[in-house]
Amino acid sequence: MKPRLLVRGAAQIVQVCDAKQTMVAGDASKEIAVFETDDCVGGYALVVNENGIISDIDTDVAIRHKYNYGEGSGIQAEDVFDEVIDARGCCVLPGLVDAHTHPVWAGDRVNEFAMKLAGATYMDVHKAGGGINFTVTCTREAKEDDLYQSFKARLLRMMASGTTLVECKSGYGLDLETEMKMLRVIDRARYDPDIPIQISTTYCGAHSVPRGRTADEAVTDVIEVQLPAISKEVQRGRLTVDSIDVFCEKGVFNVEQSRRMLQAGVDHGLMINFHAEELNPLKGAEMGAELGAQAISHLEEISEEGIRAMALVKSVAVLLPTTAYILRLRPPPARKMIDAGVPVALGTDFNPNAFCTSMPLVMHLACVTFHMSMPEALNAATINAAASLGKSSQHGSLEVGKRGDLIVIGAARWEHLIYQFGGISDILKYVVCGGKVCVSKR
Ligand code: NIG
Ligand code: FE
């Protein structure tokens, strides 16, 4: 079998990491590993083998010699590889990783945007019958296949912005039947040949307290009804679920309720990846670090102790610039977290409140509104986002032995991916998943 793909002639191949790091923190998050051409070298090349794994990254010349094509050999690169991308004048980067999304739902909340522009807060909208509970009603009523079709369109839209691995949460069911329906919808996309984007699934049955129930009743339902039933489906091989999420927030689930549900998730073999410290400082980050959380999201209101606790156990902070932007929240203390050694990741937080599928835009917002540098934002949208999902041994950097998930942009320096905000559709030339070209604008 031929190797799947040759990308050649690149002005830059941005590896992100080159020593098999599984996450970066502190000073290391200010560095990006890049192969770049100088006057002595033509360009750089990358090979993805027949199994979809990166097998070589080197100069064009070295790759040409190794695979015996070109230069009077009478053999064309196209004879040797299934597919060849000419990346002259372009940069090659790892596929982007979106560490936090709520992509399965029905109903439209564009009206809430108008309310928020007129001064309503997230909790005002919630109390006026909007917010998560409105989406829950619509999602409970929706047919499974309709949910699937809209979910699929959203995934393809994410891929068209360069995302090749995405975390997908349930959480608009809040009862066993609908949470299971959402998890099945997410699972179906893993096996759909039209959806090459890779998925990490998070069960978020404690996204809100369902109408007609107290928080304690909802906790009992999650621990005694939903988790055991979902776990049984996982054990039977009918479902894949990677992580558990809860919304630890004043007026939703308190720290102790959240702790109990997260611990129950761990007992069922799930990683902890939850919402905390978004609107009020509750010490949810300290609790998450104590439980060894893989990741904690939002953290706008995290305390100094919370930062220290997360840095110590290397829980990944998943920061969400779209939410802070759209809700005009105080931004999370990203600089303090990075300086303290917390590994920082980014996500779109795609949901009916923050309708954004673009990681390049998220990186741009992180730089401007969270004061992150471009290398910090790229690390956060690749290797650290993969780390937040426990997948950084295969995803998040371009290194030999990792998955051939990459993007090619039509600019000679990678920073254009962040700098040209809102321009991703003009700049992105290829998206490659497992060595297969999935988006191409030749
Ligand atoms: O991450 N904070 C809780 N969950 C979502 C919002 C979900 C919604 O409003 O539907 C978030 O921003
Ligand atoms: Fe969220």
CATH number reported for the structural domain that contains residue 431 in this entry = 2.30.40.10
Minimal-distance CA residue to ligand 1 atom 10 = 132
The pLDDT, as a whole number, for residue 72 is 82
The mean pLDDT of 111-138, rounded to a whole number, is 92
Compute, in angstroms, the gap from residue 23 CA to the centroid of ligand 1.
26
Residue 239 pLDDT class (50, 70, 90 cuts): very high
Does 23 have pLDDT greater than 70? yes
Looking from the CA of residue 278, the nearest atom of ligand 1 is: 2
Q: Do 206 and 90 share a structural domain?
A: no
Ligand 1 pocket residue status of 349, Cβ below 6 Å: yes
210 shares its domain with 83: no
Q: CA-CA distance, 318 to 253, in Å (whole number)?
A: 19
Whichever domain contains 220, its CATH number is 3.20.20.140
CA of 46 to the centre of ligand 2 (A): 35
Residue 351 CA: which ligand is closest? 1
For position 123, what pLDDT does the model report? Answer: 87
Q: Is the pLDDT of residue 41 over 80?
A: no
Q: For ligand 1, is residue 139 a contact (CB within 6 Å)?
A: no
Mapped to the 3 state alphabet, what secondary structure does the chain carry? Answer: CCCCEEEEEECEEEEECCCCCCCCCHHHHHCCEEEECCCCCCCEEEEECCCCEEEEEEEHHHHHHHHCCCCCCCCCHHHHCCEEEECECCEEEECEEECCECCCCCCCCHHHHHHHHCCCCHHHHHHCCCHHHHHHHHHHHCCHHHHHHHHHHHHHHHHCCCEEEEEEECCCCCCHHHHHHHHHHHHHHHCCCCCCCEEEEEEEEECCCCCCCCHHHHHHHHHHHHHHHHHHHHHCCCCCCCEEEEEECCCCECHHHHHHHHHHHHHCCCEEEEEECCCCCCCHHHHHHHCCCCEEEECCCCCHHHHHHHHHHCCEEEECHHHHHHCCCCCCCHHHHHHHCCCEEECCCECCCCCCCCHHHHHHHHHHHCCCCHHHHHHHCCHHHHHHCCCCCCCCCCCCCCECCEEEECCCCCCHHHHCCCCHHHHEEEEEECCEEEEECC
Summarize pLDDT for 325-384 with one digit per residue, the tens: 999 999 999 999 999 999 999 999 999 999 999 999 999 999 999 999 999 999 999 999
Compute CA distances 337 → 21, 242, 255, 301, 302, whole Å. Answer: 19, 26, 21, 12, 9
Q: Same structural domain for residues 105 and 62? A: no
Same domain, 169 and 208: yes
Ligand 1 closest atom vs CA 208: 3
Mean of the per-residue pLDDT values of the chain: 97
Clarify whether residues 11 and 132 are in a common domain. no
CA 156 / ligand 1 centre spacing (Å): 21
Phi, psi of 406 (to 5 degrees): -150, 165
208 CB near ligand 1 (under 6 Å): no
Q: Which atom of ligand 1 is nearest to the CA of 105?
A: 10
The arithmetic mean of pLDDT across residues 94-100, rounded, is 99
Same domain? For 344 and 196 the reply is yes
Same domain, 186 and 228: yes
The CB of 135 under 6 Å from ligand 1? The reply is: yes
Domain count, the chain: 2
Same domain? 158 vs 28: no
Q: What is the per-residue pLDDT for 26?
A: 97
The alpha carbon of 357 and the centre of ligand 2 are apart by a number of angstroms equal to: 13
Ligand that lies nearest to the alpha carbon of residue 355, given by its number in the listed order: 1
Q: Are residues 349 and 320 in the same domain?
A: yes
User: Residue 38 pLDDT more than 80?
Assistant: no
Asked whether residue 86 falls in the same domain as residue 100, the answer is no
Query: Residue written as tokens 């950097």?
Result: 397
Residues 80 and 114 both lie in one domain: no
Q: Is 323 in the pocket of ligand 1 (CB under 6 A)?
A: yes
Q: Residue whose CA is closest, atom 1 of ligand 1?
A: 349
278 C-alpha to ligand 2 centroid (Å): 10
- Check pocket membership of 253 for ligand 1, CB cut-off 6 A: no
> Which ligand 1 atom is nearest residue 323's CA?
12
What number is the average pLDDT over the span 1-24?
97
**Residue-level pLDDT at 40:** 65
pLDDT at 39 over 80: no
Domain interval for residue 50? 5-94+397-440
pLDDT (mean) for 205-232:
97
Q: Are residues 337 and 417 in the same domain?
A: no
pLDDT at 397: 99
